[in-house]
Chain A
Amino acid sequence: MAETVLEIENLVKNFGALRATDGVSLDLRQGEIHALIGPNGAGKSTLIHQICGTLKPDQGNIRFSGQDITALGVAERVRLGLGRTFQVSSIAPEFSALRNVMLAVQAKQGTSFRFFTPVMRDRSLTEPALAMLERVGLAARADIPAAELSHGERRQLEIAIALALESKAFLLDEPMAGMWPEGSKALTGFLDGLRHEAPILLVEHDMDAVFALADRISVLVYGKIITTGTVDEIRRDPAVRSAYLGDHA
């Protein structure tokens, strides 16, 4: 069996009387796409916040490449190699697409406490950043302020940023959301290849994409993972059908 990169153990998070995460255990193995699905309000966002470090769990552990990261902050987790994209695109709106990626390259290279070298003349920043934009097909839009990019282009930009961080695992929060069918098709192809660089924990509502991509699927309902299995197993699972898929499958 492939090596486990990310391991979540018995995670619990309460908001007052509401148990938003109820003993979730889940792992992500080298080379796979593990999709996390569940109806609205199932607690997917809460779970993601805990994995990224924006929320602290009440109980349980998160281990990443052999290290307990439960107590670490957001930036520290990213530096260890846990890259993510956001459900709603999160970018620096005034910066060009290129500068957004350059910020990630700069972060990857280490300290930001350099005061005197202009970044735009620093080829160790501009070249890798441009290469990442090329990979996601956004090179032609490199100089456009991120605020002026289309919705789909911003999703691409986020992926370019995650790539620039050379992450050891990706956490993609609804990367297809709001994309045109051609866009999600292209992205599906791209993610299919990306899994060989680093495993992906994919939270996604687009079932076509999930079924096309996932090696394994976990189904989250009311803060609990009711089952984990291959695409076929999940399609056949009666509990999943009633809880979530309806007639879709």
Chain B
Amino acid sequence: MTLSREALINLILITLLAAVPFVALGVGQPFYITLATRIAILALAAVGLNLVLGLGGLVSFGHAAFFGIGGYVAGILAAHASSGEPLLFGLAGSDQMPVIWLVTLILCGIVGLAIGAVSLRASGVYFIMSTLAFAQMIYYFAVSWPAYGGEDGLSILVRNQFPGVNSMKPISYFLICLGMLITGLALFSLIRASRFGAALQAARQNAVRVAAVGISPYPIRLAAFTLSGMITGVAGALYADLNRFASPSMISWHMSGELIVLIVLGGTGRLFGPVAGAMLYVVFEFALGGLTERWQFFLGLILLAVVLFARGGLLGLLAGKARHG
């Protein structure tokens, strides 16, 4: 079988992303490694959101909640690991990334189940508002929690560790994030092609039809929402470790909006939509941000152009309409 056009573009995108830090090292501009790492992490967060938004057609305006929870898990566990104080129930902190990710997955799974169970009772704009409300509740909770920095956020003194890797080295940390992004993409791709993915996508296209073959859309959507939150949560943990800082702004609604923007820019429901979107977004932010403080005005114009003239985002423009089996 020959490579489809979309697969080829995907391959180019991921190769490009993987190559940037090495080129940056070669020309002595290590700053670009951080930029590429940021792209990989934001892309992973958006891969999570793409599961509910792209496949499920559910516009969650509260995914910053998961992103922030991941960030605070990284920050809080690290703080306890360095101070030696036990956490809740006498559990010890940890500065090991795999432990942090596991805790993030569990916590985001529970929170995702709770938010989803309530929000998915509603649909359309009420679903959007409900997810937003939950995320803002968590935001204000973080802001008003002085033990973990409150409004000032929570610093991570030394980046958490990954077994066998010096995570403080920018290129090593980039590779960890790239590895997680590829894992997230593989998971998304498997789910999209599976029975679960078929039911989820059919429920977006026609929920009445799905019920009329005997599949209740609600549990399918709830599972997707939960999984989606878990993936975005891990991205949050990575993001906090990149900046060595867990900030309440990670939970604010701006962040939720940013993730939606990434997906729309790149291509809703496309496997590499989040990657293309994150690349565009971060490059715009960097390039336009260097020229003018009002770069978001220009981003707005570009977004408008995408919504009006290129509904499929960058991938839709390059690879044509999405085809289902």
- Chain A interface (Cβ < 8 Å from any Cβ of B): 52, 73-76, 78-79, 84, 86, 90-96, 98-100, 102-104, 106-108, 111-120, 122, 125, 145, 161, 165
* Chain B proximity of A106: nearest CB distance (Å): 5
CB atoms of B196 and A112 under 8 A apart: yes
A residues near B195, Cβ cutoff 8 Å: 106, 111-115, 117, 119, 122, 125
Q: Mark B160-181, 1 if CB is under 8 A from A, else 0.
A: 0000000000000000000000
Q: List 21 A-B pairs, Cβ < 8 Å.
A: A73-B216, A78-B213, A92-B205, A93-B206, A94-B201, A94-B205, A94-B324, A95-B205, A99-B324, A106-B198, A106-B215, A107-B215, A108-B213, A114-B194, A114-B195, A115-B190, A115-B191, A116-B190, A116-B194, A119-B325, A120-B193
* Chain A proximity of B53: nearest CB distance (Å): 16
CB atoms of B196 and A84 under 8 A apart: no
Q: A106-B198, A120-B325 are in contact. Are A90 and B193 (CB under 8 A)?
A: no
Q: A75-B214, A113-B223, A165-B214 are in contact. Are A103 and B202 (CB under 8 A)?
A: yes
Cα–Cα, bound, A125→B193 (Å): 13
CB atoms of B324 and A119 under 8 A apart: no
Q: A115-B191, A118-B194, A119-B194 are in contact. Are A103 and B205 (CB under 8 A)?
A: no
A residues near B206, Cβ cutoff 8 Å: 90-93
Q: Considering only CB atoms, which chain B residue lies closest to A93 in the complex?
A: B205
Number of A-B contacts (CB under 8 A): 110
B residues near A111, Cβ cutoff 8 Å: 195
**B147 at interface (Cβ–Cβ under 8 A)?**
no
CB atoms of B212 and A78 under 8 A apart: yes
B residues near A98, Cβ cutoff 8 Å: 325
CB atoms of A114 and B213 under 8 A apart: no
**B8 at interface (Cβ–Cβ under 8 A)?**
no
Cα–Cα, bound, A96→B210 (Å): 15
CB atoms of B199 and A112 under 8 A apart: yes
18 further A-B contacts with Cβ under 8 Å, apart from A75-B211, A99-B325, are: A76-B216, A78-B212, A78-B214, A79-B214, A90-B206, A92-B206, A93-B205, A94-B205, A95-B325, A96-B325, A103-B210, A107-B214, A107-B215, A112-B195, A112-B215, A114-B196, A115-B196, A119-B193
Q: Which 5 pairs between the two chains have the least Cβ-Cβ distance? A: A78-B214, A118-B193, A92-B205, A112-B199, A79-B214
A residues near B324, Cβ cutoff 8 Å: 94-96, 99, 145
A residues near B202, Cβ cutoff 8 Å: 92, 95, 103
Cα–Cα, bound, A78→B212 (Å): 6
Cα–Cα, bound, A95→B203 (Å): 11
A residues near B18, Cβ cutoff 8 Å: none
